[in-house]
């Protein structure tokens, strides 16, 4: 079978934005320390275009990647965007240098950054705008309320959250509809299991970041290594296949700057994980 992200099936974010469930995360397309442009800018552009050729329709980015660099690369590579491509970006983290991260979700900052993202991406409306982190210094009503205002103004279509618990999702939904949650989740780290179950039960998209982390499970002779050898794929591919089977609400966004890794990741969408292998990995 020809590798295609479409083999993973689809999910309608917010009920009206259908995407192939295997997406692409853009953080690794920036320079060292997630700062500045990559050494091979033309290569990054080619990689994004190749992702579309392979059926990827969901691209996740953030204003803090670069900062602004990943968004600009998406515009350079894909604008005007194909009708089926959905861009999700995030706000709420600040940058002061390579590998240096801060936080700011004050209303004025969110409003300034939405204009920057719209400009960087070449969009009049951002399909999915995610709060990268809830800012503990700012009332939640002000943070989500600002996103709700931007939605009413037509600058964003849907609102998402990142790295939150179930109670925080419910609290945010008192101020505006939330359609997605992006949390750390992978085969080796399932601390957000309750959030995933909540997302699936309520129709939210669950976007696992760091989806390829496998820890000791991928070590020589480990359960993931053994299953991968048996199936004839790599441990990373099997980890992605496990995520895709784990829940129909799951939208993994593996990122890479390598064309070969992109091809390998997309090929994971075609892997049919047996009941026995799925069960064995799920109990680790």
Cut 0.85: pTM above it:
yes
Q: How many CB atoms lie within 10 A of CB 256?
A: 19
Cα–Cα distance measured from residue 227 to residue 13, given in angstroms and rounded to the nearest whole number: 32
Residue 234 in any domain: the answer is no
Residues 6+ apart with CB under 8 A from 42: none
Q: Is residue 192 part of a domain?
A: yes
Which CATH number belongs to the domain containing residue 155 in this structure? 3.20.20.100
* Domain assignment of residue 183, yes or no: yes
Given this model, what pLDDT does residue 215 score?
64
Give the separation between CA 257 and CA 48, rounded to whole angstroms. Answer: 9
Per-residue burial over 196-225, b if 16 or more Cβ lie within 10 Å, else e, is: bebbbeeebbbbbbbbbbbeebbeeebbbb
Predicted local confidence at residue 157, as pLDDT: 98
For residues 28 and 38, what is the distance between their CA atoms, to the nearest angstrom? 9
pLDDT tens string 77-123: 999 999 999 999 999 999 999 999 999 999 999 999 999 999 999 99
Q: What is the pLDDT of residue 1?
A: 46
Tell me, what's the pLDDT at 217?
Answer: 67
Cα–Cα distances (Å) from 50 to 43, 174, 232, 267, in that order, read: 10, 40, 24, 13
- Note whether residue 243 is domain-resident: no
**Number of folded domains that form the chain:** 1
- Assess if residue 13 is contained within a domain: yes
Phi, psi for residue 36 in degrees, rounded to 5: 75, 180
- The pLDDT assigned to 214 comes to 66
Residue 79, pLDDT score: 98
Active site residues per annotation: 65
Q: Indicate whether 191 belongs to any domain.
A: yes
Using DSSP's 3-state secondary structure scheme, residue 164 falls into coil
pLDDT of residue 68: 98
Q: How far apart are CA 105 and CA 198, in angstroms?
A: 25
In-domain check, residue 16: yes
Which domain range does residue 26 map to? 5-214+248-257+265-270
- Could you give the C-alpha distances from 108 to 66, 143, 155, in angstroms and in order? 21, 10, 15
**Domain membership flag for residue 78:** yes
Angle at which helix 41-53 crosses helix 69-78, to 10 degrees, equals 60
- The predicted pLDDT at position 136 comes to 97
For residue 262, CA distances in Å to 65, 171, 235, 236, 253 come to: 19, 37, 15, 12, 11
Nearest-angstrom CA–CA distance, 172 and 33: 31
- Regions in the chain scoring below 70 on pLDDT: 1-2, 214-218
Cβ-Cβ contacts under 8 Å for 212 (sequence gap 6 or more): 186, 236, 239, 240, 254
């Amino acid at each position: 079978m020809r590798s295609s992200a479409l083999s993973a099936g689809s999910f309608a974010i917010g009920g009206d934005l259908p995407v192939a469930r295997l997406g692409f995360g853009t953080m690794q397309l920036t320079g060292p320390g997630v700062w500045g442009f990559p050494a091979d800018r033309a290569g990054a552009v080619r990689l994004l275009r190749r992702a579309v050729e392979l059926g990827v329709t969901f691209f996740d980015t953030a204003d803090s990647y670069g900062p602004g660099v990943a968004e600009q690369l998406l515009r350079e590579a894909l604008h005007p965007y194909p009708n089926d491509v959905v861009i999700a970006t995030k706000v709420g983290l600040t940058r002061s240098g390579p590998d240096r991260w801060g936080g700011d979700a004050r209303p004025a900052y969110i409003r300034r950054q939405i204009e920057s993202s719209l400009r960087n991406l070449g969009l009049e409306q951002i399909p999915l705008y995610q709060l990268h982190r809830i800012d503990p210094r700012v009332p939640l009503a002000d943070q989500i309320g600002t996103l709700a205002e931007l939605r009413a103004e037509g600058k964003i279509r849907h609102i998402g959250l990142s790295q939150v618990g179930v109670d925080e999702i419910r609290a945010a939904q008192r101020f505006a509809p939330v359609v997605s949650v992006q949390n750390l989740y992978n085969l080796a780290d399932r601390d957000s299991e309750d959030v995933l179950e909540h997302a699936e039960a309520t129709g939210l998209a669950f976007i696992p970041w760091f989806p390829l982390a496998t820890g000791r499970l991928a070590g020589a002779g480990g359960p993931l290594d053994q299953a991968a050898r048996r199936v004839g794929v790599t441990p990373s591919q099997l980890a992605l296949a496990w995520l895709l089977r784990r829940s129909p609400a799951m939208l993994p966004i593996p990122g890479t700057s390598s064309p070969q890794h992109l091809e390998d990741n997309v090929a994971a969408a075609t892997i049919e994980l047996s009941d026995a292998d799925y069960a064995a990995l799920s109990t680790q």
